[in-house]
Chains A and B, each alone.
Chain A
């Protein structure tokens, strides 16, 4: 039986006095692709931030590969093997594409080599010397994903990787996520684009008002389509 890459129990999170997560509970097995689906403001991005200890106060239990992360500062959580690709992409304008790519330190062995990354994302090689934020939206998204593959992290948190991108780029991102899954990465995907997410995910957690309200595995998606449409309002 596969081990748990990520185990979250009764996770609460606050922005200042504002209580946003109200007991998120979910788990992700090693090598799984899991989505967090939900409407705007449901708490999906806050869950990502809470997992990384980034800008929120949190309480509850977060186990990354069996190690507790709830009391660790952000930089130590990353060293447990958790890597985050934020919703806003976070490409540094003061850095070139290559500098952005090489920025995250190696947290453990086994990451992709720069050559492998350039094979997967040839545009990043062609535009290595450009300013990071001069790339197109799709290229920036690829750079944001590419730079966390180098680090050796085994669990990737991808927050809305298709947001605002053209359909052809969305397809490309989908192919990349499928490739990463084949390589054995564990992936937690936050998506509003249900149709995109459902083709990739093994299991889908539905998030509403800061907690998980349902879990629908891939094989049960067709039978639960109406229920999902109700949850997501799509």
Chain B
């Protein structure tokens, strides 16, 4: 069997795929966080809970309404966005004039509350969610075996991230969002309903978390703690990419997923800490992150 630095090729590429899948989730989640932080200046600690709720929405839609994976892929993000819209309007919007810390504390409290509610109702053992029949099986690429569903997750993530990037960089709506991030007061004086824009952005970020949850449901079990397990790494991704940077969130998300995968092969003992070591180095060298601008 061919090897690279003494590691079998199949094992190496297996970890690369796993790294890409993890990276796909990091990218989608950190993209949502970056959008929310960029415009609302809120460090959304409830993002992991929104991701978890996306997975649960898919599970509940299947169990109680008979709506399968493909329907959930559309409906679950919409449900999560709706809940997020209520959170933003009823709670978060009252904190914008205060220090960032208040938004962080509120969303942290919300995350604990939501996780607690789901844990109370569903326990922590994890609920199964099957891979849809169309995406079951594997592709034999010759040098490795690729599970179709994992390839699908990476493809969806890339398409969604590129679409959001194009929306923000290439459209009139994106120009309004970029302007709102830079100077919302003046934008409002031009006649743009900035509070509505903020609600919509929070909903979009939450919908991305909900979509990630649906994508994750067949890979990881649906579990109330699935968000909190992931969110710390995702925050590290956002800090490394640069708070509020769309490009930074996406590129860093995929890159760190890949680095984690490679660490598992070459230096497994540092896998769990690699992301945080990189974060510390980046913060020392570029405090605003790799793609971020000083505020």
Contact = CB atoms under 8 A, between A and B. Distances in A.
Interface string A90-109: 10111100010011110100
A137 to B, nearest CB: 18
B189 A74 contact: yes
Contacts, number: 61
Interface string B182-226: 110111111111110000000000000000000000000000000
Interface stretch (B52-60, B108-116, B173-181, B272-280): B173-181
B172 interface: yes
A84 interface: yes
Contact of A103 (B175, B181, B193): B175
Contacts of A73: 188, 195
A99 B172 CA distance: 8
A83 B194 CA distance: 16
Contacts of B176: 103
Nearest to B187: A103
A75 B179 contact: no
Most chain B beta carbons < 10 A, residue from A74, A104, A148? A74
B183 A90 contact: yes
A75 B172 contact: no
A75 B188 contact: yes
A104 B182 contact: no
B185 A94 contact: no
If over half of A's interface residues share one DSSP class (helix, strand or loop), that class is named, otherwise mixed; here it is loop
A90 B186 contact: yes
Given A92-B182, A93-B182, A95-B175, A103 B189 contact: no
Given A75-B193, A95-B179, A105-B192, A55 B172 contact: no
Interface in B137-180: 172, 175-176, 178-179
B178 A94 contact: yes
A53 B194 CA distance: 13
On chain A, which size bracket covers the interface? Answer: 20 to 34
B181 A54 contact: no
A97 to B, nearest CB: 12
Nearest to B186: A90
A13 interface: no
Nearest to A148: B190
Contacts of B185: 54-55, 74
B189 A151 contact: no
Contacts of B188: 54, 73-75, 78
Given A54-B185, A86-B186, A151 B191 contact: yes
A212 interface: no
A52 interface: yes
Interface of B: 172, 175-176, 178-179, 181-183, 185-195
8 contacts: A54-B185, A86-B186, A92-B179, A94-B181, A94-B182, A104-B190, A105-B191, A151-B191
Given A75-B192, A78-B189, A103-B175, 8 more contacts: A75-B190, A75-B194, A77-B189, A78-B190, A78-B191, A93-B182, A103-B176, A105-B190
